[in-house]
Every structure is written in C-alpha cells, then in structure tokens.
Amino acid sequence: MDHDVYDGDGYEGADASGVYNGMAATRLDGVAWQKSRHSNSQGSCVEFARLPGGEVAVRNSRFPDGPALVYTRAEIEAMLLGVKDGEFDHLVAG
C-alpha cells in the first residue's frame, strides 16, 4: 500500500483528529493556508497552515489538492531558525 496519500478512513498513522503526514491537503478543512509575500508572480510557493492541534501542515501551492506534510511545532521552529541562519542558502545559490 502506498502511504504517501491515503484517501480512506482510519489510517493507523493519524492522530486523534484524523490528521496524518501525507494526507490530501483538501482534507484539512478550515485551515488558513499562507505563503510568503516573496512568492513568484504566478503564486507558486510553499504554503503553511497551522493545525488545531498546534502542528503545521505544508503543501506545494502548484498542487493544492496534493499531499500535505505535517510537522510538529518544534520541527518547523528548527527549520525556520536554520533558514534565518542561512543554512539552506546553497539550495538556491546560482
């Protein structure tokens, strides 16, 4: 079974609210997706949404119906601190 996206009910990796990593982003009802004001003119960017349990979902705005990756607050905080410190600058350097 492919666990990247699961469209059924009762996925064993789901938390009490039914949220799990790789679920279809469209199944995250009532969340407010946000992208950077620095996204390109076509709006293609990474989008984030805070979930009711405090976790953060991430999706690709080019594929809004695709999977959402779900991270803990601590994981997002570590990533943001690394970005601010320039740890990932080499990924976009020419």
Give the pLDDT of residue 11. 53
For the chain, the domains span 23-91
For 41-63, write each residue's pLDDT tens digit: 776 799 999 999 999 999 999 89
The DSSP result for 32-88, as a single string, is: --EE-TTS-TT--SEEEEE-TTS-EEEEETTSTTSEEEEE-HHHHHHHHHHHHTTTT
For 2-40, write each residue's pLDDT tens digit: 333 334 444 556 676 788 889 999 999 899 999 988 887
* Average pLDDT, integer, range 73-93: 96
Model confidence, pTM: 0.78
Average pLDDT, the chain: 84
| Higher pLDDT pick, 90 / 29 | 90
